[in-house]
């Protein structure tokens, strides 16, 4: 035990520069000093560290936890993503590029990492959740704030009973993970990783009870995502999704050209997709749209134009996009076309060209690029690019071009603040003539020339954690970007530093009367908050020591109240334009937060009067 304490003390003093390599040398030197044949793994050290902390032998150390955490970027914002798959089932789509693996839900392959985990868990929702949370816990991640992502074919074709029970088990697994972990660590249960014994845990009888428990559980769902298709975007489904806690939707559009959709047997039109996105907004959902460059019948020029049309069309303008270049997979109709010489996939250079054009010229600052390639093992790809780090390759090339060219930097980074005007206060901006047509900057003019670590302007690239040269005295502008959607006026309100890095943002929608639902929580003159997101390491729900430590080191980030200030700005804008209420699509965990700032629960939304 003394030796382990000595090692932990040494790890706690490792400087940030080249930290991971120094950690490896430290463990190697430790093993050599004490004649240990195997160098201790991070997982083993974390386990011993936790035992020492729980018995009071060792004090909590944020530095030790950071260094021993595996793939820390997964929980760097304090939220861990958990992907679960539904069971294999019928899908209404007949897409020619879609794999047809009988062991998987439609469009998935059993060698994809997430799909493989689901198969090993027999697609059981609580086994998938327990095992994923266990894996994250053992590798040093906090698991009390969870982004639950439900994948697998088309959610809405599954029987209602299956969908209800599947989501209930997700809530139950989160609610009881501590009980499971206690039994697992005390060896009171005998289970392999994918074969859990009967845990003897009492679960609630209804999903409503499970959801209510999750509001104050130690492991809470921050967001809940499902996948769907345009033809299933109905009022009935939207209301069912909300009643089950769904806050975010993913939908495949793939192309903005009907002839391409028809050639690939997508089974829906661009107009159906436009109407579907319109309805998502009306209900206040956050949403992600999938695009597939390189489809049968498309061209490089059409693929680029698809993105341009999507952001020019007020019915689309996605919050997030996934960029999935088409790959030829065995046992698909596209494979047969390729084999007969009737289809040629995009070359890697073509894909890089499309990414550069989309990132450099099209993607607006209010969008997040979630993915630039799908995680399909290269062994499954018959033809098409199998390079998995396309984002890195592309951005490295763009960085090289920008480094020595001030004009190119000004052109790219200038898009962050196109037609901008600086104001002393938000009140001044709201009272100014024609200010609605400009990007409003509250405080000081940003820097549009200096080099930085991002070359895409999307929200993922601009997260404050990506800034490596953080100044000692950090400052933030309030930035208000307005754009038109089919439902009404959209405001992307953010706090950003002088280089455009994001501390946090919110999405405010002011629906026009003709597009507002006649419901108490979504009626006329009701503004909608579709997302509130503050970046920076969020402390554990149970670790007050982390909160205080983070406050002292990062006074500019979450715990200084960026979230509250963003909400105040959104409320001020809504009130200025005579909206009487503001309604937030409510994630389960944050309901307590909204109550503290004056909101009350109405059905599944948190609502505040502005009068």
Write down the mean pLDDT value for the chain.
87
Q: What is the pLDDT of residue 389?
A: 82
Report the distance separating Cα 461 and Cα 368, nearest Å: 8
189 and 278 belong to one structural domain: no
Q: What is the pLDDT of residue 387?
A: 80
Report the distance separating Cα 373 and Cα 367, nearest Å: 17
> Would you say residue 233 lies in a domain?
no
Orientation angle between helical segments 177-185 and 160-175, nearest 10 degrees: 60
Written as six digits, the tokens of 167 are 């989501």
Q: What is the pLDDT of residue 556?
A: 42
At 187, is the pLDDT very low, low, confident or very high (cuts 50, 70, 90)?
low
Is residue 256 within 8 Å of residue 270, measured between CB atoms? yes
- Looking at 40-44, 78-82, 476-480, which range is the least confident one? 40-44
Residue 366: CB partners within 8 Å, gap ≥ 6?
Answer: 319, 459, 481, 483, 490, 492, 505, 507
77 and 62 belong to one structural domain: no
Is residue 115 within 8 Å of residue 103, measured between CB atoms? no
421 and 394 belong to one structural domain: no
Where does a domain end: 52, 68, 84?
68
Residue for token pair 């494979």: 335
Q: What is the pLDDT of residue 472?
A: 62
- Determine how many CB atoms are found less than 10 A away from the CB of residue 512: 12
Report the distance separating Cα 280 and Cα 238, nearest Å: 8
Q: Is the pLDDT of residue 96 over 90?
A: yes
Q: What is the pLDDT of residue 65?
A: 77
> Would you say residue 538 lies in a domain?
yes
Is residue 279 within 8 Å of residue 233, measured between CB atoms? yes
> Would you say residue 383 lies in a domain?
yes
> Would you say residue 244 lies in a domain?
no
3-state SS of 233-245 is CCHHHHHHHHHCC
Q: What is the pLDDT of residue 456?
A: 92
Residues spanned by the domain of 273: 249-406
77 and 36 belong to one structural domain: no
Q: Is the pLDDT of residue 74 over 50?
A: no
Mean pLDDT throughout 339-347? 95
Q: Is the pLDDT of residue 60 over 90?
A: no
Written as six digits, the tokens of 16 are 């940030």
Q: Is the pLDDT of residue 218 over 60?
A: yes
List, as one string, the DSSP characters of 267-280.
SS-HHHHHHHHHHH
Inter-CA distances, 49 with 12, 29, 68, 143, 183, Å: 12, 19, 10, 17, 19
At 51, is the pLDDT very low, low, confident or very high (cuts 50, 70, 90)?
confident
> Would you say residue 242 lies in a domain?
no
Q: Is the pLDDT of residue 353 over 80?
A: yes
β-pair type (526-534, 502-511): antiparallel
Q: Is the pLDDT of residue 188 over 60?
A: no
DSSP code for 560: G
Sheet containing strand 477-484, strands side by side? 420-423, 439-442, 477-484, 488-496, 502-511, 526-534, 581-585, 605-609, 600-602
Report the distance separating Cα 294 and Cα 284, nearest Å: 32
Report the distance separating Cα 135 and Cα 144, nearest Å: 14
Q: Is the pLDDT of residue 192 over 60?
A: no
Number of domains comprising the chain: 4
441 and 482 belong to one structural domain: yes
Report the distance separating Cα 331 and Cα 103, nearest Å: 14
What φ, ψ does residue 471 adopt, rounded to 5°?
Answer: -70, 160
Q: What is the pLDDT of residue 545?
A: 41
At 278, is the pLDDT very low, low, confident or very high (cuts 50, 70, 90)?
very high
Is residue 444 within 8 Å of residue 477, measured between CB atoms? yes
210 and 331 belong to one structural domain: no
- Looking at 42-46, 203-207, 278-282, 484-488, which range is the least confident one? 42-46
442 and 537 belong to one structural domain: yes
254 and 374 belong to one structural domain: yes
46 and 82 belong to one structural domain: no
> Would you say residue 482 lies in a domain?
yes
Q: What is the pLDDT of residue 551?
A: 47
At 434, is the pLDDT very low, low, confident or very high (cuts 50, 70, 90)?
confident
> Would you say residue 456 lies in a domain?
no
272 and 317 belong to one structural domain: yes
pTM of the entire structure?
Answer: 0.87
Where does a domain end: 68, 85, 119?
68
The β-bridge partners of 531 are: 507
Mean pLDDT throughout 326-343? 94
Written as six digits, the tokens of 438 are 């400009």
> Would you say residue 238 lies in a domain?
no
Mean pLDDT throughout 9-23? 78
At 29, is the pLDDT very low, low, confident or very high (cuts 50, 70, 90)?
confident
26 and 108 belong to one structural domain: no
- Looking at 35-39, 227-231, 562-566, which range is the least confident one? 35-39
Mean pLDDT throughout 133-160? 89
Written as six digits, the tokens of 311 are 């952001």
62 and 105 belong to one structural domain: no
Out of 106-120, 148-162, 460-474, give the one with best mean pLDDT.
148-162
Where does a domain end: 13, 46, 68?
68
At 70, is the pLDDT very low, low, confident or very high (cuts 50, 70, 90)?
low
Report the distance separating Cα 605 and Cα 284, nearest Å: 9
């Amino acid at each position: 035990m003394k030796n382990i304490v000595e090692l932990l003390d040494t790890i706690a003093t490792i400087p940030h520069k080249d930290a991971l390599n120094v950690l490896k040398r430290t463990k190697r030197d430790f093993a050599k000093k004490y004649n240990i044949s195997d160098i201790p793994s991070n997982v083993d050290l974390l386990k011993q560290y936790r035992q020492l902390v729980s018995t009071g032998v060792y004090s909590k150390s944020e530095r030790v936890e950071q260094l021993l955490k595996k793939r820390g970027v997964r929980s760097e914002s304090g939220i861990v993503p958990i992907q679960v798959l539904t069971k294999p089932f019928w899908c209404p789509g007949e897409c020619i590029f879609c794999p047809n693996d009988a062991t998987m839900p439609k469009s998935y392959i059993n060698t994809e990492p997430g799909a493989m985990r689901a198969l090993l868990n027999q697609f059981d929702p609580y086994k998938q959740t327990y095992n994923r949370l266990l894996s994250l816990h053992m590798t040093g991640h906090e698991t009390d704030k969870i982004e639950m992502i439900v994948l697998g074919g088309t959610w809405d074709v599954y029987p209602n009973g299956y969908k209800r029970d599947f989501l209930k088990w997700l809530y139950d697994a989160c609610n009881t993970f501590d009980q499971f972990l206690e039994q697992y660590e005390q060896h009171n249960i005998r289970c392999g990783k994918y074969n859990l014994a009967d845990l003897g845990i009492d679960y609630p009888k209804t999903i409503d009870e499970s959801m209510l428990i999750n509001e104050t559980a130690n492991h809470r769902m921050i967001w809940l995502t499902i996948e769907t298709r345009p033809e299933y975007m109905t009022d009935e489904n939207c209301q069912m999704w909300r009643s089950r806690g769904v806050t975010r939707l993913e939908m495949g559009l793939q192309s903005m050209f009907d002839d391409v959709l028809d050639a690939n047997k997508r089974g829906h039109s661009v107009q159906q997709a436009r109407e579907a996105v319109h309805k998502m907004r009306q209900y206040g959902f956050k949403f992600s749209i999938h695009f597939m460059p390189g489809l049968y019948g498309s061209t490089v020029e059409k693929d680029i134009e698809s993105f341009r049309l999507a952001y020019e069309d007020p019915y689309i303008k996605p919050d997030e996009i996934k960029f999935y270049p088409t790959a030829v997979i065995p046992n698909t109709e596209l494979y047969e076309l390729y084999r007969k010489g009737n289809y040629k996939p995009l070359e890697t250079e073509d894909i890089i060209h499309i990414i550069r054009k989309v990132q450099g010229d099209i993607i607006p600052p209010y969008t997040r690029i979630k993915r630039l390639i799908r995680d399909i093992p290269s062994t499954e790809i018959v033809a098409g690019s199998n390079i998995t780090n396309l984002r890195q390759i592309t951005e490295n090339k763009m960085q090289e071009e920008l480094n020595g060219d001030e004009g190119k930097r000004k052109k790219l980074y200038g898009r962050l603040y196109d037609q901008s005007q600086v104001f002393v206060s938000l009140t001044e901006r709201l009272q100014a003539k024609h200010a609605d047509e400009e990007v409003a900057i509250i405080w000081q003019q940003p820097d549009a020339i200096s080099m930085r670590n991002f070359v895409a302007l999307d929200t993922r690239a601009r997260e404050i954690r990506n800034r490596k040269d953080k100044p000692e005295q950090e400052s933030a502008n309030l930035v208000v970007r307005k754009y038109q959607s089919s439902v009404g006026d959209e405001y992307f309100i953010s706090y950003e530093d002088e280089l455009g890095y994001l501390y946090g943002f919110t999405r405010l929608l002011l629906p026009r009367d003709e597009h507002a639902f006649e419901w108490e929580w979504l009626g006329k003159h009701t503004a909608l908050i579709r997302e509130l997101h503050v970046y920076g390491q969020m402390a554990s729900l149970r670790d007050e020591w982390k909160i205080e430590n983070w406050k002292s080191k990062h006074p500019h980030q979450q715990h200084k109240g960026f979230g509250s200030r963003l909400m105040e700005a959104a409320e001020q804008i809504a009130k200025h334009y005579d909206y009487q209420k503001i309604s937030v699509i409510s994630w389960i965990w944050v309901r307590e937060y909204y109550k503290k700032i004056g909101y009350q629960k109405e059905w599944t939304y948190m609502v505040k009067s502005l009068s």
